[in-house]
Structure 1
């Protein structure tokens, strides 16, 4: 991983270079530039992963440099350093999706934290791109008529834990009898095809299997705690629209009927043994 330090103060540049444990962070190459123009030239030549830049510099300031770099090299992450509390610069840094905006005098620990955050974002981006490529390869030929923007929705780019989020949504909404692939796809702004592929890849089960497993797990615990409950009520509370289907599915997964399980729970009650 490569880092470019851009600062017009030599003491600051050298201080940062000497005080950061680069190798421990997995950073193998550290370059320096003394102003925005040199920083722009080196950035386009070296394509660094992270750029640590002063905001105010002669010839070209750090924000202008960053906007110019972004026109050609969008993958890098920016960390800005400034000795001035300037709201306009801060707004620009936000617009550039800067990882951090650090005020001078700089504390090495602040830079280390910002570098760690940048590295995490870069690793997530690489993983996302790998998943996108695998997805396109997996559905090669099938996806030719689907618009590019629908292949991997923008919402996926904001989170690398979409499968976990989908599973959590199911756990929170399993009792909804209308819970479906369509509802989930709409909730997460994903195409059903991509959502199902991604979930199966990450969780080793289909979304429908996850829904059923979650509902049955809840139903079993509910019956254990309430051994005199009516089966149709359990089915309804667990999100099954039909009690006959609930009985069928429960027997398939648990090897016993809900009625048999309720009977067993009732017989095992402490008061039932007295």
Structure 2
């Protein structure tokens, strides 16, 4: 990973170079520029991952430099340093999605925290790009059958976090008999195709399998605690619209019927008494 430091004060540049544990952060190359114009030229040539820049510099200020760099290096992360608390600069930093805005005198720990945050964002972006390429390749053979707007989601999000969110939503709403792929896709603003592919990739099971597994787990525990309950009531409480379907699915996954399990629970309860 490459970092470019742009600051007109040599003491600041050298101080940061000496005080930051670059290698332990995974940063192998550090470059320095004395002002915004030199920083712009070096950035376009070297394509750094992170730019640590002073805001106020001769010839070209850090914000102007960053806007020019952003035109070409879309994924580059910016960390701004300034000796002035200037609201206009802060507004510009927000527009550039700056990772942090650090005021002088500089605390090395603040810089380290900002660098760590930048690295996490960059790693997530690389993962997102890899996911997009894999997703496109996965559906390469059926591109003619899938509209372009449905092929790639409008916004790519962390796949692991999104899969976790989907799973948690299922755990919280499994008793809803209307829970479906369409409902989930609408709730998370994802295409069904992408959502199903992402979930299977991250969780090694389909969304429907997760819904069934969650419902059956709850049903089994509910019957264990209530051995005299009616099966149709268990099915309804577990989110199954049809008790016959519940019996069929339960037998498929548990290798016994709900009635057999209730009988077993009754026998165990009598033995304990």
Q: The TM-score by the shorter chain falls in which range? A: over 0.9
Counterpart-to-counterpart distance in 1, 2:151 and 2:33: 40
Counterpart-to-counterpart distance in 1, 2:129 and 2:265: 50
Counterpart-to-counterpart distance in 2, 1:45 and 1:4: 11
Is 2:159–2:198's contact at 8 Å kept on the other side of the alignment? Answer: no
Shift of 1:149: 4.9
Shift of 1:253: 0.4
TM-score by length of 2: 0.94
Is 1:155–1:188's contact at 8 Å kept on the other side of the alignment? Answer: no
- SS of the aligned residue for 1:269 comes to helix
- SS of the aligned residue for 1:156 comes to coil
| Alpha-carbon RMSD | 1.6
For 1:97, the equivalent position in structure 2 comes to 97
Distance verdict in 2 for CA 1:237–1:60, change over 3 Å: same
Is 1:128–1:160's contact at 8 Å kept on the other side of the alignment? Answer: no
Shift of 1:157: 3.3
Is 2:99–2:118's contact at 8 Å kept on the other side of the alignment? Answer: yes
Distance verdict in 2 for CA 1:221–1:27, change over 3 Å: same
Counterpart-to-counterpart distance in 1, 2:190 and 2:48: 32
Is 2:2–2:29's contact at 8 Å kept on the other side of the alignment? Answer: yes
Counterpart-to-counterpart distance in 2, 1:172 and 1:93: 39
Listed as ranges, the gaps of 5+ residues in structure 2 are none
Deviations 1:75-121 (A, max 9, x none): 11111111111122112111111111111111111111111111111
Shift of 1:188: 1.3
Q: Runs (4+) of structure 1 moved beyond 3 Å?
A: 144-150, 157-160
Distance verdict in 2 for CA 1:235–1:117, change over 3 Å: same
For 2:19, the equivalent position in structure 1 comes to 19
Distance verdict in 2 for CA 1:14–1:190, change over 3 Å: same
Shift of 1:124: 0.9
Listed as ranges, the gaps of 5+ residues in structure 1 are none
Shift of 1:212: 0.4
Shift of 1:269: 2.3
Is 1:56–1:62's contact at 8 Å kept on the other side of the alignment? Answer: yes
Shift of 1:239: 0.7
- SS of the aligned residue for 1:101 comes to strand
Distance verdict in 2 for CA 1:270–1:156, change over 3 Å: farther
Deviations 1:13-35 (A, max 9, x none): 11111111111111100001111
For 1:155, the equivalent position in structure 2 comes to 155
Shift of 1:270: 6.5
Is 1:124–1:160's contact at 8 Å kept on the other side of the alignment? Answer: no
